[in-house]
A and B are shown apart, each in its own frame.
Chain A
């Protein structure tokens, strides 16, 4: 088991190095930072001085190494647009995105698994068929459209929920949370549904097909032959086996939730990292883009590492190798 985890950590590090290279390459190839920073009125001396100051006169590998060294310490330089430390800006924005992602992930996972199991058990039932048909809409509608529709219905027409922003937030020592105020919670509802709906339908359809497959297995027949009740068979024997492949997909989708947050945050003007990233692109704010890229890849890699460990936890057959 330990060998396995160490190997996965090694692989993760490799992935991060490559993403780091891409992020770093942006500095070199997307516009000239010196140009950006000095503006129109500059002298040759200014350019040379800044180049030396930024280390741009040194060879490529040295610069890359320097970038990595800084990145590991969380230092991504100064935002071109805001003139503040990138890490500071990101830290300020991260809670909004992470809270949104967490709430929509919980919504997607809980509802997705519950509906998936239900539609698998009542395969030919009317409600199950209805859920299956409507779930197609969830899969096929683009996120921004769902967001706009929800805003129209619940904010404009019914006026139940706010259409933009986080509402009132509470500052808990650097972490601003919207989970503790009524308006913060209300503000979370629409964006979370928008962001999680696609993942929810995906998880539901996956759970359903896996569950149907598992219910055909011999050990389920044998469980019936032993006289176990349907409830025990479905929720103890079948569900655990269903979860093995589902966990992998959920892991990948959690990464996707954070990445897709860009669109949802734009639609709902949610002050998170995604909105920050979109603005950064508009102003070619490369340090912010690079930092965001690195942060997202760290999350992706971290989640997948967790999923692999979880996998071994669910399925004893995978534990043998490291015994």
Chain B
């Protein structure tokens, strides 16, 4: 048994507020050994990130450690003065943040940021520091490190930036790395690469890693030990196999049950039942007043033929010298009445651009979009207004897709007023009814979006989308910003909409297990092209295209979960 390198003992974090003291972390203890990866899992607000921040001494004011001790290599570090703590940060304990797009300073080259950190912690000259920086870039498998050294963060892709962030975390051979949701913002394939990198670095350099995540798949694939947190407390702890395979605590059990299984199709998404927060979605009421969905003439609600979109990559005064980037290249598919049609692919594959063209948010550069036989690209303004009433969109980010300066009631009323569905005086009652149906408490219409959680905001988006009683719903990554438990609720609402109201749906996601549960048919996109379209089950069981097969192998396997 090796000695623990970092030891968190009975740590409690307190935040004084106007309504008394709030404890986001209560009596939490766990150890990290060299070379070990410990997963810390839980929903947002469970206190898992807060514990990580406490370890590295970066608690935001006014939060502070009120009880407990943190020991690093036999030295107590939680009660050190600020200057001593700063010296430990980056040298002994490093941190990796969730979003690689925002954790690097955009105005400095990657090299400048690396050299700065290296020179801060190690007593090296300029050329030695540069050599070390290049060696680090090489160690995190960034090709052409000499050339990349002088580039700015925006010249790197998301996965590459996260590698740079990891290189920065490794600057002075730390003994512990706190990785806070390091792959949540990345694609499946990139996620797998970054996790592999973290794994091999931990092993080779005997670094203890605290991997904070809400993704059970990541935990299953990467960690050896796992700590489950709920409402600031550790509810369960043990080896990953043990906790995932035979969870003891009811919260862990229901959390694991709620994870969408990649290899099994179920009718509904199981919800996290622990804590009794389940909200009701009143689909029956809604269905009673919903107009009978007219079937389309051909049985195909939407046909897309040879759809193409080019973006200007480099503009020039001379038209022939302007270069374009083809985001969507000659894509054709059709969506039948009442089905959920999925599009999967990595970021940059053009799946969102397709959705935006169908929603007429982007102009097309070629091809046709036939909605119930009518070509959308050839419609005049009046016809488009009628078309827009029948299609509605739900966006990925429930934080930025609702106007923060508008009351929720006004947000939901907007489509009703814009499409002249109800006269202005009568919208209020309708809005309250819609909000009630999606399971929001009374008085929600008078509040502002920031007063709601991510899941509630996505419900508001849904209320807004169904306000016009559309026939077709476009969902662009509707749950990728949400926790597993909230995700299940939202996905079930979408399923109900399809089932009871006969809505046809375009469902875009990079989360393959979710797509398998949600969709009847699935299309795979890669670099703007459609690679494969098939029934969901066929596609997942027997993919035809090698790229599809490759994507499927990258899904987290959760083998331990299914044994349970």
Chain A residues near B (Cβ < 8 Å): 3, 6, 217-219, 221-229, 232, 236-237, 240-241, 244, 314-317, 320-321, 323
Residues of A within 8 A of B90 (CB): 225-228
Asked whether B108 lies within 8 Å of A237 as measured between CB atoms, the reply is yes
Residues of B within 8 A of A315 (CB): 106-107
Residues of B within 8 A of A314 (CB): 107
Asked whether B91 lies within 8 Å of A227 as measured between CB atoms, the reply is yes
Interface centre among A219, A227, A229 (most CB of B within 10 A): A227
Interface centre among A6, A221, A240, A314 (most CB of B within 10 A): A221
In the A-B complex, the 10 residue pairs with the closest CB atoms: A227-B90, A226-B90, A225-B95, A227-B89, A218-B102, A316-B152, A222-B103, A219-B105, A218-B103, A226-B117
Smallest distance from the beta carbon of A322 to chain B beta carbons, Å?
8
Q: Is B511 an interface residue (CB 8 A)?
A: no
Asked whether B106 lies within 8 Å of A219 as measured between CB atoms, the reply is yes
Choose one: B108, B109, B168; the contact of A226 (CB below 8 Å): B168
Contact with A along B43-64 (1 / 0, CB 8 A): 0000000000000101000000
Contact A222/B58 with A3-B317, A227-B121, A228-B90 known, Cβ cut-off 8 Å: no
Residues of B within 8 A of A229 (CB): 86, 120
Smallest distance from the beta carbon of A235 to chain B beta carbons, Å?
13
Asked whether A316 lies within 8 Å of B89 as measured between CB atoms, the reply is no
Please report the C-alpha to C-alpha distance between residue A237 and residue B116 in the assembled complex, in whole angstroms.
Answer: 11
Asked whether B121 lies within 8 Å of A219 as measured between CB atoms, the reply is no
Asked whether B97 lies within 8 Å of A222 as measured between CB atoms, the reply is yes
Asked whether B171 lies within 8 Å of A226 as measured between CB atoms, the reply is yes
Asked whether B105 lies within 8 Å of A3 as measured between CB atoms, the reply is no
Contact A237/B105 with A316-B152, A320-B154 known, Cβ cut-off 8 Å: yes
Q: Is B165 an interface residue (CB 8 A)?
A: yes
Smallest distance from the beta carbon of B551 to chain A beta carbons, Å?
29
Residues of A within 8 A of B376 (CB): none
Nearest-neighbor residue (CB-CB) of B82 within chain A: A230
Asked whether B154 lies within 8 Å of A219 as measured between CB atoms, the reply is no
Choose one: A218, A227, A240, A323; the contact of B86 (CB below 8 Å): A227
Residues of B within 8 A of A6 (CB): 317
Q: List 24 A-B contacts (CB under 8 A).
A: A3-B315, A6-B317, A218-B97, A219-B102, A219-B105, A221-B58, A221-B97, A222-B97, A222-B103, A222-B104, A223-B105, A224-B58, A224-B86, A226-B89, A226-B94, A227-B87, A227-B91, A229-B86, A229-B120, A237-B105, A241-B105, A316-B107, A317-B152, A320-B154
Smallest distance from the beta carbon of B56 to chain A beta carbons, Å?
6
Residues of A within 8 A of B95 (CB): 222, 225
Smallest distance from the beta carbon of A315 to chain B beta carbons, Å?
6
Asked whether A317 lies within 8 Å of B105 as measured between CB atoms, the reply is no
Please report the C-alpha to C-alpha distance between residue A99 and residue B424 in the assembled complex, in whole angstroms.
Answer: 60
Q: Is B88 an interface residue (CB 8 A)?
A: yes
Identify 11 new A-B residue pairs, CB closer than 8 A, beyond the known A3-B315, A317-B154, A321-B314.
A6-B317, A219-B104, A224-B89, A225-B56, A226-B120, A227-B89, A228-B117, A232-B116, A241-B107, A316-B107, A320-B154
Nearest-neighbor residue (CB-CB) of B61 within chain A: A124
Smallest distance from the beta carbon of A285 to chain B beta carbons, Å?
43
Smallest distance from the beta carbon of B126 to chain A beta carbons, Å?
16
Nearest-neighbor residue (CB-CB) of A7 within chain B: B317
Please report the C-alpha to C-alpha distance between residue A94 and residue B222 in the assembled complex, in whole angstroms.
Answer: 71
21-50 of chain B: CB within 8 A of chain A: none
Residues of B within 8 A of A317 (CB): 106, 152, 154
Please report the C-alpha to C-alpha distance between residue A236 and residue B108 in the assembled complex, in whole angstroms.
Answer: 10
Residues of A within 8 A of B303 (CB): none
- Category for how many chain B residues contact A: 35 or more
Asked whether B106 lies within 8 Å of A227 as measured between CB atoms, the reply is no
Please report the C-alpha to C-alpha distance between residue A71 and residue B413 in the assembled complex, in whole angstroms.
Answer: 57
Residues of B within 8 A of A232 (CB): 116, 120
Smallest distance from the beta carbon of A83 to chain B beta carbons, Å?
47
Q: Is B146 an interface residue (CB 8 A)?
A: no
Q: Is B99 an interface residue (CB 8 A)?
A: yes
Asked whether B89 lies within 8 Å of A240 as measured between CB atoms, the reply is no
Please report the C-alpha to C-alpha distance between residue A222 and residue B171 in the assembled complex, in whole angstroms.
Answer: 13
Smallest distance from the beta carbon of A49 to chain B beta carbons, Å?
48
Residues of B within 8 A of A227 (CB): 86-91, 117, 120-121
Q: Is B553 an interface residue (CB 8 A)?
A: no
Smallest distance from the beta carbon of B351 to chain A beta carbons, Å?
24
Contact with A along B445-459 (1 / 0, CB 8 A): 000000000000000
Asked whether B152 lies within 8 Å of A228 as measured between CB atoms, the reply is no
Please report the C-alpha to C-alpha distance between residue A321 and residue B316 in the assembled complex, in whole angstroms.
Answer: 10
Asked whether A225 lies within 8 Å of B58 as measured between CB atoms, the reply is yes
Residues of B within 8 A of A240 (CB): 105, 107-108
Nearest-neighbor residue (CB-CB) of B316 within chain A: A3
Nearest-neighbor residue (CB-CB) of A227 within chain B: B90
325-347 of chain B: CB within 8 A of chain A: none
Smallest distance from the beta carbon of A227 to chain B beta carbons, Å?
3
Residues of B within 8 A of A228 (CB): 90, 116-117, 120
Contact with A along B108-124 (1 / 0, CB 8 A): 11000000110011000
Smallest distance from the beta carbon of A100 to chain B beta carbons, Å?
34
Please report the C-alpha to C-alpha distance between residue A321 and residue B58 in the assembled complex, in whole angstroms.
Answer: 38
Please report the C-alpha to C-alpha distance between residue A232 and residue B115 in the assembled complex, in whole angstroms.
Answer: 13
Interface centre among B103, B152, B155, B315 (most CB of A within 10 A): B103
Please report the C-alpha to C-alpha distance between residue A240 and residue B94 in the assembled complex, in whole angstroms.
Answer: 24
Please report the C-alpha to C-alpha distance between residue A227 and residue B165 in the assembled complex, in whole angstroms.
Answer: 14
Please report the C-alpha to C-alpha distance between residue A320 and residue B58 in the assembled complex, in whole angstroms.
Answer: 35
Please report the C-alpha to C-alpha distance between residue A299 and residue B105 in the assembled complex, in whole angstroms.
Answer: 34
Please report the C-alpha to C-alpha distance between residue A244 and residue B105 in the assembled complex, in whole angstroms.
Answer: 13
Asked whether A222 lies within 8 Å of B165 as measured between CB atoms, the reply is yes
Contact A219/B103 with A226-B94, A226-B168, A321-B314 known, Cβ cut-off 8 Å: yes
Please report the C-alpha to C-alpha distance between residue A106 and residue B123 in the assembled complex, in whole angstroms.
Answer: 39
Please report the C-alpha to C-alpha distance between residue A20 and residue B537 in the assembled complex, in whole angstroms.
Answer: 71
Please report the C-alpha to C-alpha distance between residue A40 and residue B559 in the assembled complex, in whole angstroms.
Answer: 105
291-346 of chain B: CB within 8 A of chain A: 314-317
Residues of B within 8 A of A225 (CB): 56, 58, 89-90, 94-95, 97
Smallest distance from the beta carbon of B438 to chain A beta carbons, Å?
32
Smallest distance from the beta carbon of B317 to chain A beta carbons, Å?
7
Smallest distance from the beta carbon of A58 to chain B beta carbons, Å?
35
Please report the C-alpha to C-alpha distance between residue A178 and residue B89 in the assembled complex, in whole angstroms.
Answer: 54
Please report the C-alpha to C-alpha distance between residue A314 and residue B116 in the assembled complex, in whole angstroms.
Answer: 19
Smallest distance from the beta carbon of B177 to chain A beta carbons, Å?
10
Smallest distance from the beta carbon of A142 to chain B beta carbons, Å?
32
Asked whether A218 lies within 8 Å of B317 as measured between CB atoms, the reply is no
Please report the C-alpha to C-alpha distance between residue A45 and residue B317 in the assembled complex, in whole angstroms.
Answer: 54
Smallest distance from the beta carbon of A125 to chain B beta carbons, Å?
14
Nearest-neighbor residue (CB-CB) of B101 within chain A: A218
Asked whether A241 lies within 8 Å of B103 as measured between CB atoms, the reply is no
Contact with A along B346-388 (1 / 0, CB 8 A): 0000000000000000000000000000000000000000000
Please report the C-alpha to C-alpha distance between residue A219 and residue B121 in the assembled complex, in whole angstroms.
Answer: 19
